Amino acid sequence: MIRGLRGAITVTADEAEQVWQETAKLVAKMAAANQVTAEDITSVIISTTPDITSAFPARAVRLMEGWQYVPVMCMHEMNVEQALPLCIRVLMHAEVQVAQAEVQHIYLNDAIKLRPDLVK
């Protein structure tokens, strides 16, 4: 069954290398925690807060070994007052064999503030 796997991470500065490194780290942890490979992924949607403009986070995913054919798309989040700054969010659609409640969602760095109920 295809399920949505969620994750988010923050960067300390809007610098391309950091955006790519942290995005790759998040996506790899999401896949590992849910025991999925690139072949199990239907698509990945990545959003960033409007203060991230230095790089496309999708590039980091496309450069991961075996992930070059995974459809990935980037977009900006809504510009909401009081939103967590410098945040990258990922929604991965993947074939998994677990119940919805058993999906492991990954929140790293300051992004743990977004969903403390899901952080283990």
Active site residues: 6, 62, 74, 77, 89, 107, 115
In degrees rounded to 5, what are phi and psi of residue 62?
-60, -25
Give CA–CA dist 34/78, Å, rounded.
Answer: 28
Q: What are phi and psi of 24, to 5 degrees?
A: -60, -40
Integer-rounded Cα Rg, in Å, for the chain is 13
Q: How far is Cα 38 from Cα 112, in angstroms, rounded to an integer?
A: 25
Question: For residue 48, what is the DSSP state?
Answer: E
> What distances in angstroms separate CA 95 from CA 43, 105, 107, one per listed residue?
10, 15, 20
